[in-house]
Structure 1
Amino acid sequence: MSLLICGSIATDHLMSFGGRFRDSLVVEQLDKLAVSFLVDDLEIRRGGVAPNMCFGLSRLGVRPVLVGAAGEDFNDYRSWLDRHGVDCSFVHVSETRHTARFVCTTDSSMAQFASFYPGAMSEARLIELAPIVARVGDPEFVLIAADDPEGMLRHTRECRQRGYPFIADPSQQLAFSDGELIRDLVDGAAYLFSNEYESHMIEAKTGWSADEILQRVGTQVTTLGADGVRIMSRGADVVEVKAAPGVAAVEPTGVGDAFRAGFLAALQWGFGHERAAQVGCVLAAYVVETVGTQEYSFSHPQFVERVHSAYGEQAASEVASHLV
């Protein structure tokens, strides 16, 4: 059984300005704004929700299939993912656009000027899933994460048409989507992933109550930040799992992606929701302790030991049977 991860592929260009933007802005002249800032450093990070999840899955020994669109400048990023066990065979490469890019400058007060260039991401709508499935086998799940909205819609509808079990994970696209689009992306999903704020946004924009959403999806997984995760399934008790303890938080970007990767890896191992959430929480802990979404590392015995310290001997023993 294959695991297809559909979503954005991007690089992040992060710069730091030692001063304060507001000291260089004249409020009365903002309509004539033309300023530049001498930055102190530049960090280029691999990003995009789909590669972030694929990287996490590969760290746990699962080989996912990356589905998304990138530019011809994707070669170095592809090599990195290939080396870490991600199947990039089906990434659509644009002939005219660069890989999506997030460019952000942060000043000393944490104010930011940022731009997002979607670029090749807009060509995700050209990707058909059926030829990929014909090559890699029937999917256990197709996860449809934030991406080009038309691409997300096409993949969701194809999953419903062809009977592929799919996971709805609209996340960053929720703020820019209307209720009709969100309803189409969510309805019929085997799982719906969101954080707590996003879960309320889904209710507000779709007009569905929490109970109505649960009637339309198999399971709703809601991350609660430092409080862990809540899992609700039709006809089952609510499952709540605390976040892994002892986390030295450094930077939160990519934490949700890592949780999803751990959760999906555990589902592939045959675990139930509680154990899957525990694996997800431990993997997320590694990311929040690191700057960058794919810069963390661990050995499998180290991961098992962290599961043991967070959730006990039984959890560690079960996870070890798949990792060590």
Structure 2
Amino acid sequence: MRVAVTGSIAEDHLMSFPNRFADQLIAERLDRISLSLLTEELEIRHGGVAANIAFGLGSLGLTPLLVGAAGADFAAQEVWLKEHGVDTAGVRISDTLHTARFVCATDTDQNQIGFFYAGAMAEARDIDLAQLLERTGGADLVVVSPDDPEAMVRHVRACVRLGLPFVADPSQQLARLDRAQARALLDHPRYLFTNEYEALLIQERTGWTEQQVLGRVGAWVTTQGAGGSRITRAGRTTAHVPAVGAGAAVDPTGAGDAYRAGFLAALSWGLADEDAARLGSAVASVVLESSGTQTYALDGDDLLDRLATTYGAGALKHLVPWLGGRS
């Protein structure tokens, strides 16, 4: 199954704050915040949600098509992604704007404060997905991840028009979407991905209840951090999948994207949702132990060991053929 991943392409500027953000805030002055926090470390890494998901899929042996907009400064990341199995033929290069930037600080409690500059991502709205897929060999599944809001809606409408199954993954862009845009993204995706906070936010943005949202999606996958993930379908029992434990957590940035990559890879192999969630959790645990969202390396035997430790050897039978010996 060929997966096209639409969404943001960015450069991440990741900093570590050696204390707790909460200790810097004065409860009586939250209406007037003026803070300058001194960080101790800065790492500049390749990122962007779509690029991160595509990197994870490529690292698992797939050849995903990356669809998005970047600047002329994308060249280094493009080489890196190609080296890891990603087809970048769907990337539009802006003549005037820089690749998007994500600037984020993480405190000692793993809380984060981040800012995102769209830059060239704003030109993603000019991408004609139907024409692009025709030119690049098509796709069996399209992921609509955080991007320029107009681009996200346009990609969903193209998928509906073409009869292409798609995944809705609005995540951090939910805060920018108006009601019409949020509802447009839920035009019967095969899967909807959110975290727990976004699960509430998407109901607020759409004005629909949980049951109304479930009536419009094939399955709703909600990640819960250390609590694992749940998979909900209308009229069915919710499946709860525990998280795979990580060693020393270095940086949570990109763990959700890695989860999606593992989940989607398992789907492309024809595996069930629970197997997909387990693999997603295993890949996410690797990323939690890394600094940066595209700096990790996946080893099939290591993933199987992580899976066996959490779920038992019996849970591996469908994944062993795909992961055994992969390095």
Deviation of 1:208 after TM superposition, in Å, equals 0.9
CA 1:73 to 1:299, structure 2 compared with 1: closer, same or farther past 3 Å? same
Q: In 2, distance between residues paired with 1:279 and 1:103?
A: 29
Equivalent residues, number:
315
Residue number in structure 1 paired with 2:50 = 50
Q: In 2, distance between residues paired with 1:186 and 1:76?
A: 35
Residue number in structure 1 paired with 2:27 = none
Deviation of 1:177 after TM superposition, in Å, equals 1.6
* Partner secondary structure for residue 147 of structure 2: coil
Q: In 2, distance between residues paired with 1:186 and 1:107?
A: 34
- Counting only pairs closer than 5 Å after superposition, residues 197-212 of structure 1 correspond to structure 2 as 197-212=197-212
- Counting only pairs closer than 5 Å after superposition, residues 1-324 of structure 1 correspond to structure 2 as 1-15=1-15, 41-104=41-104, 115-245=115-245, 247-324=247-324
CA contact (8 A) 1:61 1:323 kept: no
Deviation of 1:305 after TM superposition, in Å, equals 2.1
The amino acid of 1:78's aligned partner reads E
Deviation of 1:297 after TM superposition, in Å, equals 1.6
Deviation of 1:178 after TM superposition, in Å, equals 1.9
Cα RMSD after superposing both structures: 2.8
Query: Which range is displaced more, 285-294 or 12-21?
Result: 12-21
CA 1:316 to 1:125, structure 2 compared with 1: closer, same or farther past 3 Å? same
TM-score, normalised to structure 1's length? 0.88
Q: In 2, distance between residues paired with 1:107 and 1:235?
A: 41
The amino acid of 1:283's aligned partner reads V
Deviations 1:86-121 (A, max 9, x none): 111110000111100123567999999865321100
Structure 2: where are the runs of 5+ without partners? 25-31
Deviations 1:190-217 (A, max 9, x none): 1110011111111122111111111111
Deviations 1:210-231 (A, max 9, x none): 1111111111111111111110
CA 1:17 to 1:259, structure 2 compared with 1: closer, same or farther past 3 Å? closer
The amino acid of 1:134's aligned partner reads E
Deviation of 1:14 after TM superposition, in Å, equals 3.2
* Partner secondary structure for residue 306 of structure 1: helix
Percent identity for Structure 1 against Structure 2: 50
Q: In 2, distance between residues paired with 1:173 and 1:190?
A: 19
CA 1:314 to 1:48, structure 2 compared with 1: closer, same or farther past 3 Å? same
Q: In 1, distance between residues paired with 2:110 and 2:309?
A: 35
* Partner secondary structure for residue 188 of structure 1: coil
The amino acid of 1:292's aligned partner reads G
Q: In 2, distance between residues paired with 1:196 and 1:106?
A: 20
Deviation of 1:143 after TM superposition, in Å, equals 0.5
The amino acid of 1:167's aligned partner reads V
* Partner secondary structure for residue 304 of structure 1: helix
Q: In 2, distance between residues paired with 1:19 and 1:143?
A: 37
CA 1:113 to 1:318, structure 2 compared with 1: closer, same or farther past 3 Å? closer
The amino acid of 1:208's aligned partner reads W
Deviations 1:52-93 (A, max 9, x none): 101111111111110000000000000000001111111000
Deviations 1:219-273 (A, max 9, x none): 1111111111110123432211010135432211111101110000000111111
Structure 1: where are the runs of 5+ without partners? 24-30
* Partner secondary structure for residue 89 of structure 1: strand
Deviation of 1:38 after TM superposition, in Å, equals 8.3
Q: Which has the larger radius of gyration?
A: 1
